Amino acid sequence: MSYFSKEDIIKVKRLDLYTYLKNYNVDELVHFSRNTYVTRSHDSLKISNGMWYWFSQNIGGKTALEYLIKVEKYSFTEAVSHLLNCLEINPTLENRPIIRKNKNKLVLPKRNVNNDIAISYLEKRGIDREIINYCIYNETIYEDINNNVVFIGADYSSIIRYAGIRGTKGVRYLKDAYGSDKNYSFKINAVENSDTVHIFESAIDLLSFATLLKMNNKNWREHFMLSLAGVYNPSAKIEESKVPSALKTFFNHHKEISNVVLHLDNDKAGISSASAIKIALSTSYNVINNPPLYGKDYNDYLLRTLQYNKLQKTDIGDRIWH
């Protein structure tokens, strides 16, 4: 049985839900109105003024610990261990020493001496090694000194303007580096001129789709691929939704684009976002909605496909052997 010191318990109980999600699971945090947020998985779970309440289930609290136990169904031991691991990987903004930074200046995570852990992590997520090497060679992916994967976005003068950080140590950790500009998110350019861009919520989904193309003997660099760097939140009135900033910037520099293919997540937020983007673009572009056939997102789809292919090969091998 795990033992936690009194100091450990006090430390994790200080962590409120908003701070936890913002620092360690930002994709789950969705802005609702002014200072109110909801979670992506539970749109009736509201977070405001340091408290949270899940209206559909009539439960609430203040801390991330309570949320993990009551909502995510962690045991007390699992929840405390998870939060301590989070705090070890990356202290919350509230616990860090105050460092004066130039407003809007991107602060890139320091590079590790190699990319070994980042490569291993991406391969475990099913990403093809050739695609990983391509990104590392072009300096759009690297490993930081905390062994996180860093996804880079540059402007059209090749100046780095965005860095998305994803943890590799089993703890869900997603955030943007300080000063990141989401107008210039992670992308892979077409090898030649193309009139089509494929759109994804995350860099991992983009790389997963590229891997699926390669697995099917297709040119994974035939068309542009662009990540929106997180969840896109449409307006309450879907017809009033604006084009995501990363996509708008991309269009400004690629007038040749006429086709947009959406590969957003297969959940309520992803379906709503795809509908809003399709409405916003429909008068100027041919928009195709192409969510994953199976699973929540394209990485889930990729992993399921790899597992299926592995089982098929095993089955064939058994039949040949017998």
Instruction: Annotate 17-67 with DSSP letters as a single string.
Output: HHHHHHHH-GGGEEEEETTEEEESS-TTEEEETTEEEETTTTEEESBHHHH
Determine the residue type at 2.
S
> Using CA atoms, how far apart are residues 167 and 107, in angstroms rounded to an integer?
17
Answer for the pair 255, 224: CB distance below 8 angstroms, yes or no: no
In a domain, 21, yes or no: yes
Query: What is the Cα gyration radius of the chain?
Result: 21
**What are the tokens at 317?**
């091998």
- CA 292, 295, 299, 304 torsion-angle sign: negative
User: Which CATH number does the domain housing residue 157 bear?
Assistant: 3.40.1360.10
Half-sphere exposure of 177 toward its Cβ, with a 13 Å CA cutoff?
25
Residues 181 and 263 in one domain: yes
In a domain, 101, yes or no: no
Residues 137 and 168 in one domain: yes
> Using CA atoms, how far apart are residues 116 and 112, in angstroms rounded to an integer?
9
Nearest to 146 by CA among 179, 173, 106, 181: 173
The residue range of the domain holding 284 is 116-302
In a domain, 191, yes or no: yes
In a domain, 212, yes or no: yes
pLDDT at 322: 34
- CA 141, 147, 148, 154 torsion-angle sign: negative
Residues 49 and 85 in one domain: yes
pLDDT at 228: 93
pLDDT at 321: 35
User: Which CATH number does the domain housing residue 63 bear?
Assistant: 3.90.580.10
Strand 29-33 versus strand 36-39 pairing type? antiparallel
Residues 89 and 142 in one domain: no
Residues 200 and 248 in one domain: yes
**Which residues lie closer than 8 Å to 157 by C-beta, 6 or more apart?**
none
Neighbours of 15 (CB within 10 A): 22
In a domain, 319, yes or no: no
Buried b or exposed e, range 111-142, using 16+ CB within 10 angstroms: ebeebebbbebbeebbbbeebbebbbeeebbb
Residues 90 and 124 in one domain: no
Please state the domain count of the chain.
2
Nearest to 164 by CA among 202, 123, 220, 219: 202
Looking at the DSSP bridge assignments, the partners of residue 289 are 262
Answer for the pair 255, 225: CB distance below 8 angstroms, yes or no: no
Residues 238 and 200 in one domain: yes
Q: How far from each other are the two terminal CA atoms of the chain, in whole angstroms?
A: 46
Residues 195 and 260 in one domain: yes
Residues 47 and 128 in one domain: no
289, containing H or E segment:
strand 286-289
pLDDT at 246: 93
Looking at the DSSP bridge assignments, the partners of residue 45 are 54
In a domain, 110, yes or no: no
Residues 205 and 86 in one domain: no
pLDDT tens, N- to C-terminus, the chain (322 residues) = 467 888 888 888 888 999 888 888 777 888 877 778 888 888 788 898 888 998 888 888 889 899 999 988 888 888 888 888 888 766 654 444 434 445 568 889 999 999 999 999 999 999 999 999 999 999 999 999 889 999 999 999 999 999 999 988 877 778 888 899 999 999 999 998 899 999 999 999 999 999 999 999 999 999 999 999 876 766 666 666 788 899 999 999 999 999 999 999 988 888 888 998 999 898 999 999 999 998 999 999 999 999 988 887 655 444 333 3
CA–chain centroid gap for 299, Å, is: 11
Determine the residue type at 269.
A
Report field, pTM of the whole predicted structure over 0.85 = no
Residues 172 and 294 in one domain: yes
In a domain, 107, yes or no: no
Residues 140 and 230 in one domain: yes
> Using CA atoms, how far apart are residues 143 and 136, in angstroms rounded to an integer?
9
In a domain, 322, yes or no: no
